[in-house]
């Protein structure tokens, strides 16, 4: 009877090697100890046992003085059959001698050499090369015999498909016995390949996460309700609305002016809504400490920044396009035809305005430690228009119409192109002075303005300490 020391590899536990399985001598009734070696086994190992020589056993623990002994009882019901024993010895210290106090000896009685036909076979060898032995469920999980086979590469599923948990292949095998975790063998032994998702995917994740936050925000529904007030007010107080619009010259023989009248508060609302939705995103992330959760994820800050901005822009755009749709729908009850080109131009200017306003608010928010929806609103809807109007009034002789092309007047331009002569905002008196022949220049300025502020905010976010 020989006993070999079992040496655990320093790396991950991969397999239990039963070693060469020699046929038990028929004339040797005493149990024989087979050395076990835990570690990788080369594929061309010549001492690999043949599959038919694998032992089937059940183990029962017997306490011995120097260690644990697992004694197998034969399942065949033949007590006279020769028994074999596998001994596990673990050295707790390098200098420990066998059977000394620093060692634990574990032996497994393999029982009879005969294999019951219906008994479950569990492989010990967990190496990638070929199966060798079997030891039971506690070694490598239930059904570990499947792990020895060549498993096809599967696509990430479940949590791994959502969160970027690693950029390279990772062995997620382990023991979960007694942890309460339940999974099928197939799921438990899947070979999951985790890769860093593309920047587009990261941005989409951030976009959807921010949209989810917007779905819980009361302001979102307030804005949609505000847009819905257009048809509600016209239906419930048609005469009063018409009288009010007539007083300000919005009710004429043309539908576009009527649409502009219904949307006359859009410049003010755009400043407010974009500030609320886009101006508070980044500060809230730091205020609520949720931004730091993203640090551990393989998500670039650009994706973090752009995803959140796109969500705010998308929501603002949806709200104002919804308002446009409501106004146009209401106008159909009074007018049959519209100026399609003017309405398209107005819609394009509005989209550019939403982009410029939201980018400005988002950029300002990224510079702020505490979120404030009022600062971008006051800046874009009050301060900047008033400064420009004052400048225009002071230098009117030189005809400084260029200053009225700034993005803070894009909403006024969107209404003015429809024929409105005023709006419900700080720039209410400026529409007749504006040069609507350069609307596409205004759109271009608005886009450039928005991109510049987005890049500025992105620069700040990239350099921000997290």
Partner 1 sequence: MDRRMTFLILAILVFAPVAATLASDCSDGATEVRTSNQYVLYAQFTTNEDLGSWSFHSNCLYFIDGSANDAKMESYLKDSSVNITADDRDAIVARGTGTVVNVYDLSNYYYSDQTIYFNDSQKKAKLVLEPYNELSFFVKAGDTINLSINSAVDNMGDKVSAYYYLNYSTVYIDGPVEMSFKTSSIFKVELNLNGLYADVSYSVFGNSEPSGSATTYVVICSAITVLMLLVLVLASLKPRWSK
Residues at the site binding partner 1, with contacts judged by CB under 8 A: 158-159, 162, 204, 208-212, 214-216, 220, 252-257, 314-315, 317-318, 321-322, 324-326, 328-329, 331-332, 335, 337-345, 347-348, 351, 416-419, 421, 431-432, 434-437, 439
Give the residue with the Cβ less far from partner 1, 210 or 358: 210
In degrees, rounded to 5, the angle at the alpha carbon of residue 362 between the alpha carbons of residues 356 and 368 is 140
Give the residue with the Cβ less far from partner 1, 221 or 459: 221
- Contact predicate 39/14, CB 8 Å: yes
Ranges of beta strands (E only) in 20-102 are 33-34, 37-38, 59-63, 68-72, 84-91
Answer left, alpha or beta for residue 399, where phi above 0 means left and psi between -120 and 50 means alpha.
Answer: left
Q: Which of 406, 411, 402 is nearest to 349 (CA)?
A: 411
3-state secondary structure (DSSP) of residue 371: coil
- Contact predicate 57/111, CB 8 Å: yes
CA distance 357 to 376: 8
Give the residue with the Cβ less far from partner 1, 147 or 264: 264
With tokens 């000394």, the residue in question is: 100
In angstroms, what is the minimal distance from the CB of 321 to partner 1?
5
Q: Which residues pair with 37 in a beta bridge?
A: 17
Residue 37 DSSP code: E
In angstroms, what is the minimal distance from the CB of 420 to partner 1?
8
In angstroms, what is the minimal distance from the CB of 319 to partner 1?
8
**Chain-centroid distance, C-alpha 127:** 34
Backbone angles phi, psi at 36, to 5 degrees: -115, 140
CA distance 466 to 459: 14
Give the residue with the Cβ less far from partner 1, 208 or 455: 208
In angstroms, what is the minimal distance from the CB of 344 to partner 1?
4
- Contact predicate 277/214, CB 8 Å: yes
Give the residue with the Cβ less far from partner 1, 314 or 452: 314
In angstroms, what is the minimal distance from the CB of 381 to partner 1?
21
Give the residue with the Cβ less far from partner 1, 272 or 434: 434
The H or E element containing residue 90 is strand 84-91
Give the residue with the Cβ less far from partner 1, 39 or 231: 231
Give the residue with the Cβ less far from partner 1, 47 or 187: 187
In angstroms, what is the minimal distance from the CB of 353 to partner 1?
14
In angstroms, what is the minimal distance from the CB of 382 to partner 1?
23
In angstroms, what is the minimal distance from the CB of 246 to partner 1?
12
Report residue 153 as tokens: 């590469």
Backbone angles phi, psi at 196, to 5 degrees: -70, 125
In angstroms, what is the minimal distance from the CB of 342 to partner 1?
7
Q: Which of 313, 320, 353, 341 is nearest to 444 (CA)?
A: 353
In angstroms, what is the minimal distance from the CB of 346 to partner 1?
9
- Contact predicate 190/289, CB 8 Å: no
Q: Is 23 exposed, middle or buried (0-12, 13-18, 19+ CB in 10 A)?
A: exposed
Give the residue with the Cβ less far from partner 1, 255 or 303: 255
- Contact predicate 172/192, CB 8 Å: yes
Give the residue with the Cβ less far from partner 1, 15 or 210: 210
Give the residue with the Cβ less far from partner 1, 106 or 388: 388
CA distance 324 to 337: 16
In angstroms, what is the minimal distance from the CB of 201 to partner 1?
9
Report residue 371 as tokens: 């979120």
Answer left, alpha or beta for residue 419, where phi above 0 means left and psi between -120 and 50 means alpha.
Answer: left
In angstroms, what is the minimal distance from the CB of 214 to partner 1?
7
- Contact predicate 124/134, CB 8 Å: yes
Give the residue with the Cβ less far from partner 1, 335 or 367: 335
């Amino acid at each position: 009877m020989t006993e070999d020391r079992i040496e655990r590899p320093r790396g991950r536990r991969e397999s239990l090697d039963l070693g060469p399985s020699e046929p038990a001598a028929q004339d040797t009734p005493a149990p024989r100890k087979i050395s076990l070696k835990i570690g990788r086994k080369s594929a061309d190992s010549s001492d690999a046992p043949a599959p038919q020589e694998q032992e089937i056993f059940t183990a029962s623990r017997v306490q011995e003085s120097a260690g644990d002994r697992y004694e197998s009882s034969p399942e065949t019901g033949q007590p006279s059959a020769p028994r074999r024993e596998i001994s596990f010895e673990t050295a707790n210290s390098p200098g420990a001698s066998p059977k000394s106090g620093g060692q634990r000896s574990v032996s497994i009685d393999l029982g009879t050499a005969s294999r019951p036909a219906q008994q479950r076979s569990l492989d010990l060898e967990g190496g990638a090369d070929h199966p060798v032995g079997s030891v039971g469920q506690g070694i490598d999980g239930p059904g570990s015999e499947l792990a020895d086979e060549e498993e096809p590469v599967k696509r990430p599923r479940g949590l791994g498909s959502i969160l970027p948990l690693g950029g390279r292949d990772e062995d997620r095998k382990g023991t979960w016995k007694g942890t309460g975790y339940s999974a099928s063998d197939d799921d438990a032994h899947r070979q999951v390949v985790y890769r860093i998702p593309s920047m587009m995917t990261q941005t989409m994740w951030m976009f959807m996460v921010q949209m989810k936050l917007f779905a819980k925000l009361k302001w979102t529904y307030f804005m949609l309700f505000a847009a819905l007030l257009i048809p509600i007010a016209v239906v419930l107080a048609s005469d009063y609305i018409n009288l009010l619009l007539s007083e300000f010259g919005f009710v004429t023989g043309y539908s576009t002016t009527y649409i502009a009248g219904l949307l006359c508060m859009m410049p003010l609302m755009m400043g407010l809504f974009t500030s609320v939705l886009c101006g508070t995103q980044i500060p809230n992330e730091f205020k609520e400490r949720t931004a730091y959760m993203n640090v551990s994820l393989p998500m670039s800050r650009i994706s973090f920044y752009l995803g959140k901005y796109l969500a705010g822009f998308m929501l603002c755009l949806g709200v104002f396009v919804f308002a446009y749709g409501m106004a146009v729908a209401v106008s159909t009850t009074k007018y049959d035809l519209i100026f399609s080109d003017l309405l398209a131009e107005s819609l394009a200017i509005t989209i550019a305005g939403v982009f410029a306003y939201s980018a400005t608010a988002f950029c300002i928010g990224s510079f702020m430690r505490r979120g404030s929806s009022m600062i971008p609103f006051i800046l874009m809807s009050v301060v900047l228009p008033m400064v420009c109007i004052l400048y225009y009034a002071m230098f009117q002789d030189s005809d400084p119409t260029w200053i009225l092309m700034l993005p803070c007047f894009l909403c006024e331009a969107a209404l003015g192109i429809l024929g409105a002569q005023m709006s419900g905002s700080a720039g209410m008196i400026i529409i007749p002075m504006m040069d609507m022949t350069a609307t596409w220049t205004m759109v271009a300025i608005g886009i450039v303005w928005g991109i510049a502020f987005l890049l500025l905010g992105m620069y700040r976010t990239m350099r921000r300490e997290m």
